[in-house]
Amino acid sequence: MEKKDQILNPENNPKNTLSDEQQTIQSITDQEYKYGFVSEIEMEEFPIGLNENIVRMISAKKNEPEFMTEWRLKAYRHWLKMKEPKWPKLDYPEVDFDDLYYYAAPKNENAPKSLDEVDPELIRTFDKLGVPLEERELLAGVAVDAIIDSVSVATTFKDKLNDLGIIFCPMSEAIQDHPELVKKYLGTVVPYTDNFYATLNSAVFSDGSFVYIPPGVRCPMELSSYFRINAAKTGQFERTLIIADKGSYVSYLEGCTAPMRDENQLHAAIVELIAMDDAEIKYSTVQNWYAGNKEGVGGIYNFVTKRGLCAGTRSKISWTQVETGSAITWKYPSCVLKGDHSVGEFYSVALTNNFQQADTGSKMIHLGKDTRSLIISKGISAGKSNNAYRGLVKVNSKAENARNYSQCDSLLIGDQCGAHTYPFLEIENPSAQVEHEATTSKVSDDQIFYLNQRGISTEDAVGMIVSGYAREVFQQLPMEFAVEAQALMALSLEGSVG
Amino acid sequence: MTETVNNFQDWIKDQVHSKAESSFALSAELRKASLAVLNSARFPTRKDEEWRNTPLNELLTRTIGPASEAPVDLPLLEKLKQAIPNAQHLVFVNGVFDSKLSVDLATEIPAGLSVKQMSTLPSESLQRAEASINRSKLTDDNIFQHITRGLSNSGLFIELDQNIEIEQPLQILYLSSSNDSVSISHPLNIIHLGQNSRLKIVQQYASPAGVQAVTIPADTIQLDEGADLELYKIGLESESTDHISNTTVQIARSAVLKAHQYLLGSRLTRSNLEVIFDGPGGEAILRGIYLGDDSQHLDIRTYMDHANPQCRSDQHFRGIMNGQSRGVFNGMVLVRKHAQQTDAQQSNKNLLLSRDARVDTKPQLEIFADDVKCTHGATVGELDDDALFYLQSRGISQADAALMLTRAFSAEITEEIQLESLRDYIQNEITSRLDKIRVDHV
């Protein structure tokens, strides 16, 4: 490699201990988190720790009806009996759940009625993140339900959606305005007993988005929410519920960035999707929370339960995720294919660098007849990170003619990282056709040399190769997201070739 | 032996505390650790990841009787020997080496090869044998391997000198017999091939229909630099037999292991095979078929530890499940940090022939090196409609076409058997089982 460099860059001093590549690696690994800033908004916090009182306080704060308070308490009592799971291939110090704030909200209590009323500091925060609300409104036609820490701050395009009968609002508002819908669907896909983090979320969730698309309506714009963790030592517990009624369609985007903090922060969210007959939900995520510095200090712990229920016949749920952030990612977006002819899809790019650890994948549970599922997972490990795909394809004995294809590829950059694949295939019906394939590869010197030859710098070459590698997934993202995702990838990856 | 009739768990405790005079395969020192594990009698449950798909309840509640003294089924033995007529035959009856039915270890074993009963080993040889055990380590440190180590009263130490190549295979036959209670056998073998030596071993486990038995064998295999071992395991035990085996193989620099497994019998089979590359340039080729019918449960677990660079492993396992049978494949390929230029392939394909059959497969990769070639794949499905139709359009009945395609599915593995007579034998065994399935389906 060094020889090639000399040919290409004759001015290179061969005795220079740092080759071009190594320098690029250094420059990238030295890169600080671009979105690391703290917005100075006055925060309101509850006392530290968790007990029944805190749960009641959260519920009371949000002025919730009795059934919600009871539901939260049931979850909390169940949570006390649960143990944090140890099976993922993740290594992190135990989280002290008594040393967290369970509620934080911007103190500005008067809910803003328009963008002008939104705290200007908040708007600037979004600007720095590259999510200018006004711009989105004007250019992209995206309705943004922006969430800072726990309370939805601004909701745009509400009126337009209202005309179509679409409900798109913060979860706390939905509990007030549409308790019948919330009561009917909340916890039906992810019950409060589901798993340690989901149960915790059920007890203390603060806010999130609620979407209801009425029968036959095709949501005219991409719905979007930007999650952000802001206050230090604050656990973030959103809960999102999306219901697509018969024959409807919705595409939902979720993007996450968080500012730099030295202490690890906990995030335990839940997303529930329900698709009725002929309905389709497309859920896209770009997650770029703070991943810790290059020594592995700090960073978000991300324990998320995402599950979609294809309840109706011919319903479809499609998950797309680009995961580049978080110190720890534990996340398995799943589809329960209950309706006959229903379809589940999962497209994922998970990138880990430095000391990041990701244990992610998907579950496809085939219950109905003629159900189909597709899993495309692209893992990229660099630095000293560990990246695991863990997936389950289960075909129930009554699920006739189920089809699944899974492809899990890993790309290793450098010899200090790890890439792992743990697929589980559990097949109880002979008419099923299930295939799983996985490959492992690296960005080879030859590939880079080929591009160098054509005058492309090593940094750009790596970006190109990785973009090409993850293309299948990027293609699934809505345009404006795809651009952002590509930029994020380039930011986290360029030059980290070994 | 005590007279009491116990369930499996109590039987273990009973054996650990038994004061009866008995000779053991291993030295007291090595047994001690295993007995301590047995004392705790903690059996894996569904909560243990490695045993998630293989419930042991039925085995653990089986009533265990005293060691069987029923006579051996000699015609069956003769039939088994015919699988490789030219082999050196070594016979175990109910887990105990039977010198009368075997070749004479003192006179008939070729020069350079030594086959000795563990219990008769001089202390110096025993130390060598136990050194192999001490070097090996199971990642799935299950209690069954400790049953064999702690309680086994019989086994063979097979040693091959360096630079010796032996063409004539060793055929080790394990037969069980029983009257009316379940008997347990736990043979323990240690196999050590010297540098650049070459050996073929065929292990066959069998029992006549109706025999109730639990077989818990453990083999420790060490291949020195450049050694080459062809190892076949064939499971043909009765439908009332449970079989749990543990095999570890250490492969030194440039040594080669070819291990085939054909699991066709027993009610429950769990075959645990762990391979570790002790030096660079080693090679391990694993092949196997599990063919289940009725309520059989067949579980193959492999663990391939690429601890050194430039090694190659290639695994290909196929499952054919009929009736309410259940097949499990759990394969792990671990590529450690410095194991660059590893080439690891793993493939598992399964055919479901009936409504109630079930397959759980878990081909896993853990990779910590970047300059590697690793792929794995798994499929589960039924026979291809188009292929069936093609054959039917040529006047072949659907049942015959299905049989033909299923045989072809298995032949891709069996064709790789190097020993010709053994290949025919296994293909015949598979065909006769498929014929029975065909009759059932018609």
Average pLDDT in the A316-321 region?
A: 94
The verdict on a CB contact (< 8 Å) between B365 and A419 is: yes
Going by pLDDT thresholds of 50, 70 and 90, the confidence category of residue B165 is very high
Digit-coded pLDDT (tens) for B222-253: 999 999 999 999 999 999 999 999 999 999 99
Average pLDDT in the B325-347 region?
A: 94
CB-based contact (8 Å) between B41 and chain A? no
Going by pLDDT thresholds of 50, 70 and 90, the confidence category of residue A112 is very low
Alpha carbon of B193: minimum distance to chain A alpha carbons (Å):
33
The verdict on a CB contact (< 8 Å) between A432 and B371 is: no
DSSP character string of A316-369: EEEEEEEE---SEEEE--EEEE-STT-EEEEEEEEEE-TT-EEEE--EEEE-ST
User: Which residues in chain B are contacts of A431 at CB distance < 8 A?
Assistant: 382
Digit-coded pLDDT (tens) for B187-229: 999 999 999 999 999 999 999 988 999 999 999 999 999 999 9
Interface with A, mutate which of B53, B299, B368, B380 (most A CBs under 10 A): B380
| CB nearest to B370's CB, from A412, A429, A437 | A412
- Please check whether residue A173 is in contact with residue A152, taking contact to mean a CB–CB distance below 8 angstroms: yes
CB-based contact (8 Å) between A415 and chain B? yes
| CB nearest to B379's CB, from A417, A434, A442 | A434
Residue of B nearest to A403 (CA): B381
Min mean pLDDT across A85-94, A129-138, B13-22, B34-43 is at: A129-138
Going by pLDDT thresholds of 50, 70 and 90, the confidence category of residue A137 is very low
pLDDT at A20: 58
Mapped onto helix, strand or coil, the DSSP state of residue B245 is strand
User: Which residues in chain B are contacts of A426 at CB distance < 8 A?
Assistant: 53, 358-360
Is B123 within the bounds of a domain?
yes
Alpha-carbon span A485 to A4, nearest angstrom? 32
Whether B356 shows a pLDDT value over 50: the answer reads yes
Residue of B nearest to A402 (CA): B381
CB-based contact (8 Å) between A437 and chain B? yes
CB pairs under 8 A between A and B: 113
CB-based contact (8 Å) between A398 and chain B? no
Question: Chain B 141-180, CB below 8 Å of chain A: which residues?
Answer: none
Pseudo-torsion of CA A317, A424, A90, A149, nearest 10°?
10
Among residues A95, A46, A38, the alpha carbon closest in space to that of A230 is found at: A38
> Regarding predicted confidence, which is higher, A94 or A372?
A372
| CB nearest to B380's CB, from A413, A432, A442 | A432
Mean pLDDT, chain B, integer:
91
Average pLDDT in the B322-338 region?
A: 94
Is B416 within the bounds of a domain?
yes
Strand partners, B348: B317, B378
The verdict on a CB contact (< 8 Å) between A440 and B361 is: no
Going by pLDDT thresholds of 50, 70 and 90, the confidence category of residue B180 is confident
Secondary structure of B10-76 in the HEC alphabet? HHHHHHHHCCCCCCCCCCHHHHHHHHHHHHHCCCCCCCCHHHCCCCCHHHHCCEECCCCCCCCCHHH
Which of B246, B279, B312 represents a domain boundary (last residue)? Answer: B279
Digit-coded pLDDT (tens) for B377-431: 999 999 988 999 999 999 999 999 999 999 999 999 999 999 999 999 999 999 9
E strands along A396-449, which residues?
Answer: 403-412, 418-427, 433-442
Residue A359, by phi and psi: left (phi above 0), alpha (psi -120 to 50) or beta? Answer: beta
User: Which residues in chain A are contacts of B337 at CB distance < 8 A?
Assistant: 415-416
| CB nearest to A415's CB, from B359, B361, B370 | B370
Secondary structure of A471-486 in the HEC alphabet? HHHHCCCCHHHHHHHH
Among residues A123, A118, A105, A115, the alpha carbon closest in space to that of A46 is found at: A105
Query: CA A227: distance to chain centroid?
Result: 10
User: Which residues in chain A are contacts of B366 at CB distance < 8 A?
Assistant: 89, 418, 420
End-to-end CA distance of chain A: 10
pLDDT at A2: 42
Going by pLDDT thresholds of 50, 70 and 90, the confidence category of residue A136 is very low
> Regarding predicted confidence, which is higher, B401 or A128?
B401
Digit-coded pLDDT (tens) for B72-99: 889 999 999 999 999 999 999 999 999 9
Whether B442 shows a pLDDT value over 60: the answer reads no
CB-based contact (8 Å) between B365 and chain A? yes
Alpha carbon of B223: minimum distance to chain A alpha carbons (Å):
29
Digit-coded pLDDT (tens) for A230-254: 555 555 788 999 999 999 999 998 8
Question: Among the ranges A113-127, B17-31, B173-187, which has the highest mean pLDDT value?
Answer: B173-187
CB-based contact (8 Å) between A53 and chain B? no
User: Which residues in chain B are contacts of A405 at CB distance < 8 A?
Assistant: none
CB-based contact (8 Å) between A439 and chain B? yes
pLDDT at A10: 39
Alpha-carbon span A328 to A467, nearest angstrom? 23
Question: Among the ranges B119-128, B175-184, B280-289, which has the highest mean pLDDT value?
Answer: B280-289
User: Which residues in chain B are contacts of A434 at CB distance < 8 A?
Assistant: 378-381
Average pLDDT in the B284-313 region?
A: 96
Residue with tokens 């979004």: A126
The verdict on a CB contact (< 8 Å) between B360 and A437 is: no
pLDDT at A5: 42
Whether A6 shows a pLDDT value over 50: the answer reads no
Question: Chain B 376-415, CB below 8 Å of chain A: which residues?
Answer: 376-382
Whether A118 shows a pLDDT value over 70: the answer reads no
Which of B253, B279, B305 represents a domain boundary (last residue)? Answer: B279
Is B247 within the bounds of a domain?
yes
Whether A274 shows a pLDDT value over 80: the answer reads yes
Alpha-carbon span A307 to A254, nearest angstrom? 15
Q: Are strands A433-442 and B373-381 parallel, antiparallel or unpaired?
A: antiparallel
Rounded CA Rg of chain B:
21
Q: Which residues have CB under 8 Å from B385's CB, separation 6+? A: none
> Regarding predicted confidence, which is higher, A320 or A99?
A320
Residue of B nearest to A380 (CA): B370
Domain that residue B413 falls in? 385-442
Alpha carbon of B29: minimum distance to chain A alpha carbons (Å):
35
Alpha carbon of A171: minimum distance to chain B alpha carbons (Å):
37
Residue of B nearest to A432 (CA): B381
User: Which residues in chain B are contacts of A89 at CB distance < 8 A?
Assistant: 366
Digit-coded pLDDT (tens) for A441-493: 888 888 889 999 999 988 788 888 888 888 888 888 877 677 777 777 766 66
Q: How many domains does chain B have?
A: 2
Digit-coded pLDDT (tens) for A470-482: 888 888 887 767 7
E strands along B166-282, which residues?
Answer: 170-175, 183-185, 188-193, 198-206, 213-215, 218-223, 228-236, 241-251, 256-263, 268-277
What is chain A's percent helix, strand, coil content, to nearest 5? 25, 35, 40
CB-based contact (8 Å) between A429 and chain B? yes
In angstroms, what CA-CA distances link A217 with A166, A185, A254, A423, B74? Answer: 8, 19, 21, 37, 77
Interface with A, mutate which of B51, B342, B365 (most A CBs under 10 A): B365
Alpha-carbon span B5 to B65, nearest angstrom? 5
In angstroms, what CA-CA distances link B237 with A181, B80, B99, B262? Answer: 59, 12, 22, 12
CB-based contact (8 Å) between A185 and chain B? no
Going by pLDDT thresholds of 50, 70 and 90, the confidence category of residue A414 is confident
pLDDT at B28: 87
Mean pLDDT, chain A, integer:
79
pLDDT at A124: 55
Alpha carbon of A226: minimum distance to chain B alpha carbons (Å):
34
Alpha carbon of A137: minimum distance to chain B alpha carbons (Å):
45
- Please check whether residue B195 is in contact with residue B163, taking contact to mean a CB–CB distance below 8 angstroms: yes
Q: What is the pTM of this model?
A: 0.84
- Please check whether residue A84 is in contact with residue A196, taking contact to mean a CB–CB distance below 8 angstroms: yes
Among residues A222, A193, A201, A376, the alpha carbon closest in space to that of A284 is found at: A222
Average pLDDT in the A297-325 region?
A: 91
Is residue B401 domain-shared with residue B264, that is, in the same domain? no
pLDDT at A108: 46
The verdict on a CB contact (< 8 Å) between B357 and A498 is: no
Alpha-carbon span B432 to A376, nearest angstrom? 41
Percentage of residues of chain B with pLDDT beyond 70: 97
Alpha carbon of B55: minimum distance to chain A alpha carbons (Å):
15
Average pLDDT in the A327-333 region?
A: 91
Whether A106 shows a pLDDT value over 60: the answer reads no
Alpha carbon of B321: minimum distance to chain A alpha carbons (Å):
9
DSSP B421: H
| CB nearest to A498's CB, from B353, B357, B370 | B370
Alpha carbon of B17: minimum distance to chain A alpha carbons (Å):
36
Whether A227 shows a pLDDT value over 90: the answer reads no
Interface with A, mutate which of B336, B345, B370 (most A CBs under 10 A): B370
The verdict on a CB contact (< 8 Å) between A440 and B372 is: yes
CB-based contact (8 Å) between B86 and chain A? no
pLDDT at A264: 61
CB-based contact (8 Å) between A85 and chain B? no
User: Which residues in chain A are contacts of B349 at CB distance < 8 A?
Assistant: none
Question: Chain A 316-375, CB below 8 Å of chain B: which residues?
Answer: none
CB-based contact (8 Å) between A405 and chain B? no
Average pLDDT in the A106-129 region?
A: 52
Residue A269, by phi and psi: left (phi above 0), alpha (psi -120 to 50) or beta? Answer: beta
Min mean pLDDT across A329-338, A364-373, B126-135 is at: B126-135
Percentage of residues of chain A with pLDDT beyond 70: 74
Which of B241, B263, B279 represents a domain boundary (last residue)? Answer: B279
CB-based contact (8 Å) between B304 and chain A? no
Residue of B nearest to A430 (CA): B352
